[in-house]
Amino acid sequence: MKNDLILRAMRGENVERPPVWIMRQAGRVLPQYRAVRNSVAGFKDLLKNPELACEVSIQPVDILGVDAAIIFSDILVVPEAMGFGYDMIEKKGPTFKKTLQSEADVAQLQIAPSGSIDYTIAAIKLTKAALNARVPLIGFAGAPFTIFCYMVEGGGSKTFSKARAMMYQNPALAHQILQAITQSTINYLQDQIQAGVDILQIFDSWAGISGEYIYNTFSIPYLQQISVAVGDKVPLTIFAKDAFFALEKIASIQHCATVGLDWTVSADYAKRRTNGKCLQGNLDPAQLYAPVAEIEKATRKMLQDFGKTKYVANLGHGLYPDLPLDNVKCFVETIQSYAY
Ligand code: CP3
């Protein structure tokens, strides 16, 4: 690997400067992404086309110079492979054709076998070949908890109250769904490793709606199962957004190498709760709307706060599509010109 800074940082080895990649770096903030996106009818046509998915996965490496690529796909490919398809509706987000409410709905659930998400696996193989070992390739999946939230709710929500209600009304049914998602996710992540990803990240984007009891009961055990099944062939990052209350538990998951952080926690708070694990994050993406002098200042403060070892710079969540590209570049350049 020509640039293995992120892999070294995750192993706790010395790095000359902090490595950086950005969540949602392959997306609408890049004009070159929008051009490819406009050449197809919908978002799903893009992610199901391995050649185009490869092209947009590599764009941020070429245009932003980030230290890793992330495969262009979506966390919702797993529920679709389980028989619960969705449409990505412009300005509204994902909408599921049917939701999981009753035992009868759950009876229709299939475990997605190895090989079922073949388009993303093909895209990974193409991207690995095209990257030619320039930087590592990150594979990913949603955490079972977050996928459960979408499948029960039928789409995005501010509260995911239907999903939370099921955990209290019918916990056995909730566990049955979570177990099926977990097995499907394990199959998918093992396929990704076989196809050549160098790092895996689990996105638990809706962890913040849970609270300690719900998270410990309905998320942590399934993350643990995934990490044990996937093993330590590639380093695993777990990003549970807004789950400040779960940092200790996440850090103690067996093969979790890196804990992803949103911007609500300070470096000091996170370090005290993560037992020496590598940390990733966590500038507020909205900071990138500020003038570049402010972005430089805030970015350098972030680097100072996290310190020299076991650290991967990133934002605290994905890029917003309307962020000025020059400001995004300023974030990356400030990190890459920072010498330890
Ligand atoms: O650059 C990358 O990070 C790789 C690609 C990637 C996408 N989605 C592409 C995408 C990744 C890693 C994801 C993960 C994902 N998808 C998450 C977890 C991360 C997070 O944001 O918390 C979630 C919750 C989803 C589900 C999802 N996908 C939603 C809610 C939406 C609609 C909101 C929006 O931003 O439009 C998507 C669509 C989506 N996924 C887009 C992209 C580039 C935008 C659609 C488009 O380009 O037409």
In a domain, 166, yes or no: yes
Ligand 1 centre distance from Cα of residue 205 (Å): 11
Is 37 designated active site?
yes
Tell me if residue 168 is catalytic: no
Residue 164 CB coordination number (10 Å):
21
β-strand pairing of 256-260 with 278-283: parallel
Whichever domain contains 10, its CATH number is: 3.20.20.210
Buried/exposed code over 240-266 (b: 16+ C-beta within 10 A; e: otherwise): bbbbebbbebbbebebbbbbbbbbebe
Which listed residue (86, 150, 222, 311) is catalytic? 150
Calculate mean pLDDT across residues 259-288.
Answer: 98
26 CA closest ligand 1 atom index: 1
pLDDT at 340 exceeding the cut of 90: no
Helical (H) or strand (E) element with 86: strand 86-89
The arithmetic mean of pLDDT across residues 151-166, rounded, is: 97
Give the position, in ligand 1's atom list, of the atom nearest the Cα of 33: 47
Domain extent for 142: 5-21+66-336
Please choose, from the candidates 200, 283, 284, 209, the residue with its C-alpha nearest in 3D space to the C-alpha of residue 246.
209
Query: Could you read off the pLDDT of 41-78 as tens digits, one per residue?
Result: 999 999 999 999 999 999 999 999 999 999 999 999 99
**Active site (annotated) includes residue 150:** yes
Which pLDDT does position 325 carry in this prediction?
98
Measured from the Cα of 142, ligand 1's closest atom is 18
Looking at residues 278-306, what average pLDDT do you find? 98
Report the number of distinct structural domains present in the chain.
Answer: 1
> In testing the pocket of ligand 1, which one of 33, 57, 61, 75 has its CB within 8 Å of the most ligand atoms?
75
pLDDT at 299: 98
In a domain, 102, yes or no: yes
| Tens-place pLDDT, residues 2-17 | 999 999 999 999 999 9
- Asked whether residue 202 is domain-assigned, the answer is yes
Q: Catalytic site residue 305? A: no
Looking at the domain assignment, is residue 33 inside a domain?
A: no
Residue 34 annotated among the catalytic residues of the structure = no
Asked whether residue 134 is domain-assigned, the answer is: yes
Rounded percentage of the chain residues whose pLDDT exceeds 70: 100
Mean pLDDT of the chain: 97
Rounded distance, CA 30 to CA 88, Å?
Answer: 20
pLDDT at 78: 98
Residue 32 located in a structural domain: no
Q: Is residue 313 part of a domain?
A: yes
Token digits of residue 250:
């996440």
**43 occurs within a structural domain:** no
In the chain, % of residues over pLDDT 90: 99
Nearest residue (by CA) to ligand 1, atom 40, is 74
pLDDT digits (tens, 9 = 90+) for 88-144: 998 899 999 999 999 999 999 999 999 999 999 999 999 999 999 999 999 999 999
